[in-house]
A = this chain, B = another copy of it.
């Protein structure tokens, strides 16, 4: 399945901060075929560092999509049955307007003059894509981590436009610890002199700061167990400690590699804006009960979390589930056993596939 990322432009987008972006480009991909009644569309929502290329092999890069193990013919999101859409989020750096895009009023990249964005802003732009594709009602919205926040926001903001929501390894609002980890990443970027208040597009990006931010991220995406299984205390290409500050342990080598690799494909300012949107995210808008928020939702919910995910622990998924149950909503919850930590939503294909397949089939049967 060779896929090409498409792009579309909208005249303008009103943001929660009060500003308006004009115009706004969105990069998106689709897989499978939209049926005649347009009732088989599923919107996939990506996490912090993802992009529109969720499935198939990219025509441009030759690389598989970030959720290719879950989306495709015969897979959990079965493209023989469903029409699957994924777009790069607002504020991103992979084809959708973000801080690295040219501000038409200046002819220069927005950089830090880009308006601060929120998860609801991202969802508002996604709805324009869905409208653009002529889809009245999505069969489902689904994503993990920040993608799960968007799935929740969709179900709450557009209750008539979503038949089902599958938020995975996510939360209805960022905790102090989650904010803290994001803040460390932002501080690492902003501490890099190459960041230069965000104005690095004509010079060189804050590669060292962004790499450190990514390293922190990677530790939080894994679990103590998965790191022990993957690395243990194994030394890197030597038999004894080097007694110096070069790389001793495999885990150090892995982190440095992932950090430096990330710099090649991600914009540091996008990292700032997107993590800030995650931190601002609070389905209750800072007040009222979560149950109250879900009152007008009509979607069926499948909530999934993973036992070893300490970044988005199961209790946060349970808060969502309990709030939905308090309002008598149709919700299924599954905590899947996994050692992979937060990364589990990307790698634990087996049981996730079964859960998603069954849930989508039932939704399609009952709701279309």
Contact = CB atoms under 8 A, between A and B. Distances in A.
Nearest to A183: B252
Nearest to A235: B286
Contacts of A180: 215, 218-219, 227, 251-252, 255
Interface in A152-191: 173-177, 179-181, 183-184, 186-188, 190-191
A228 B176 contact: yes
A295 interface: no
Contact of A248 (B115, B175, B279): B279
A247 to B, nearest CB: 9
A208 interface: yes
Interface string A267-291: 0000010001001101000100000
Contacts of A115: 243
A85 interface: no
B286 A272 contact: no
Q: Size range of the interface on A?
A: 35 or more
A224 B313 CA distance: 10
A288 to B, nearest CB: 14
Contacts of A191: 188, 192, 208-209, 211-212
A276 B180 CA distance: 24
Contacts of A179: 233, 249, 251-252
B186 A188 contact: no
Contact of A272 (B208, B212, B245, B282): B245
Interface in A220-265: 222, 224, 227-228, 230-233, 240-241, 243-245, 248-249, 251-252, 255-256, 259
16 contacts: A18-B243, A116-B241, A176-B230, A176-B249, A177-B222, A179-B233, A179-B249, A180-B218, A183-B249, A184-B212, A188-B188, A188-B191, A190-B245, A224-B313, A241-B280, A245-B272
Interface of A: 16-18, 112, 115-116, 173-177, 179-181, 183-184, 186-188, 190-193, 208-209, 211-212, 215-216, 218-219, 222, 224, 227-228, 230-233, 240-241, 243-245, 248-249, 251-252, 255-256, 259, 272, 276, 279-280, 282, 286, 310, 313
